[in-house]
Amino acid sequence: MLRNKIISPATTEVQVKLLAIQGSRRMTRVNITVDNTSPLIAYLPWGAWIDGNSSQDKDAPKYSDGGTFTGTSKIGASAKITFRGTGIWIFGAMRCNHGLYNVSVDGGPVATGSGFADNERFQVPLFSAQNLDFRTHDIIVTNSPLTSQEPFVDIDFLVIETETFTANAAIVQDTDAAFKYTPADAWATSKLDNATSFLHSSGHITRQAGATVSFGFMGDKVEVYGTTGPDNGPYQVQLDNGPVMVFNATREAFHGGVLLYQTSGLDAGPHVLRLENLPSASNPTSLLAIDHAIINSLTNSEGQQEESSPVSPRTPGITLFIGFVVAISVLVLILLLLLLLFLIRRRRTRRSKAIPSITIQPSSQPSSSDYEAGAYRPGSQIARQWSHAGASHGTAELTPISICTPSSWSFRRYYGIWADSRVPTSDGLQGERRQSCASLPIPQRTSPGML
């Protein structure tokens, strides 16, 4: 699937090559696990939903991610889920005090489900939708209990099915040059609260209204991770010059490694993702925290990486310079080859002048001595003389003949983009969080916010 893309004169050679690669490949479906603490889930109205924990519920450890879930007993309370993809699974619990709930997809028909079960079960799918159009979707889950004895519904985690041209992923740390923090003095990197909750204990936070972070990357899929908690607040996201989306990272308790934004199926880069802190009037010092990003980039047929963050594509000026150097090198090699051939021919000409002529008295047929000396060869002057009956019987002067076969040359130019290879392996973040949905009617739980 290659979306319409206008190739302007300013489009670089690398971008054109990536578009060609992208157009020749089929998209692959992959899964992203989103924890209940992600701002991609908006719980409404504020205060109607609570964060579950073991101090309030003895069965909390049976939920995923160490026992985190978000639940409500208020009739009409809703959870709005915004995602880009082709499918979704919503996981929660089925318990004796859970009741009915309604689910609608993009404002369509309402489906009703029940979370009631005498034998309580946890981390089970409450709702799923598959084979959706590949675009941004809004799903609303509404609590609709029939009795006060069964008032609850909860959300444990989501599994989003999305599409990408490759499952290869690269983790980009918040300190990478691909991140641009503006203004720089509005962002702090030291003395972070709950620093161990950040990947490699590294993160950027800001409390300044209007402070922004721009992330430049080349790829067709991107995820940005940060934190949620009581000190976090609203923020807005814009990809390239697309629409602005607003999310709220405020939660009752602190949570790290949370998915703040995701999208996929993009055209060949480059792209710029921009996040801006938007403190509210009720919490003017709320913060925005950036932990790391994950991008998926295209690869060529040999498995070599064609693009990755944060290195920008090679500019036309550099490409022209490389072409000029290669052309000069080829010209020099040709001149050297011609000079070598000239010297060889000149040397052989001098040698031929020093060899005396040989006079052969032809007869009716070649003599045995001619065969033994090797002078008679099919196609030679001697052979041609013997083959013509009645030819004049004169002398034949033989000049040594040499056949020079020039060496063949081949030149190959390789264009590529340097890849960011800084993908940690000790924590198992590379390649373990992706799986095809072809054989996965109901995905299994993975690490929160990871593939």
> Which comes out higher in pLDDT, residue 167 or 395?
167
> Which comes out higher in pLDDT, residue 301 or 352?
352
Q: Where are the domains of the chain?
A: 11-27+165-314+415-434, 31-164
pLDDT-based confidence at residue 44 (cuts at 50, 70, 90): very high
Mean pLDDT, the chain, whole residue set: 74
> Which comes out higher in pLDDT, residue 211 or 167?
211
Distance CA 123, CA 125 (A): 7
Residue 153 has pLDDT above 80, yes or no: yes
- Rounded to whole angstroms, what are the CA distances from 100 to 94, 115, 359? 11, 6, 116
Residue 300 has pLDDT above 50, yes or no: no
Residue 402 has pLDDT above 80, yes or no: no
The pLDDT, as a whole number, for residue 161 is: 95
Residue 297 has pLDDT above 50, yes or no: yes
The pLDDT, as a whole number, for residue 280 is: 85
- Helix (H, G, I), strand (E, B), or coil: what is residue 10? coil
> Which comes out higher in pLDDT, residue 44 or 366?
44
Asked if the domains at 11-27+165-314+415-434 and 31-164 fall in one CATH topology, the answer is yes
The pLDDT, as a whole number, for residue 321 is: 54
pLDDT-based confidence at residue 42 (cuts at 50, 70, 90): very high
Report pTM.
Answer: 0.63
Residue percentage of the chain with pLDDT more than 90: 51
- Helix (H, G, I), strand (E, B), or coil: what is residue 237? strand
Q: For the residues 59-67, what does the mean pLDDT come to?
A: 91
Task: Note the CATH architecture for domain 11-27+165-314+415-434.
Answer: Sandwich (2.60)
In the 8-state DSSP scheme, what is residue 383? H
Convert the pLDDT of each residue in 415-437 to its tens digit. Answer: 333 333 333 444 443 333 333 33
Task: List the CATH code of the domain at 31-164.
Answer: 2.60.120.260
The pLDDT, as a whole number, for residue 192 is: 82
- Rounded to whole angstroms, what are the CA distances from 263 to 80, 139, 345, 348? 17, 16, 68, 72
Beta-bridge partner residues of 179: 215
Give the number of residues written for the chain: 451
The pLDDT, as a whole number, for residue 351 is: 55
Q: For the residues 98-123, what does the mean pLDDT come to?
A: 96
In the 8-state DSSP scheme, what is residue 201? G
Residue 229 has pLDDT above 90, yes or no: yes
Question: Pick from 113, 51, 42: which is nearest to 82 by CA?
Answer: 42
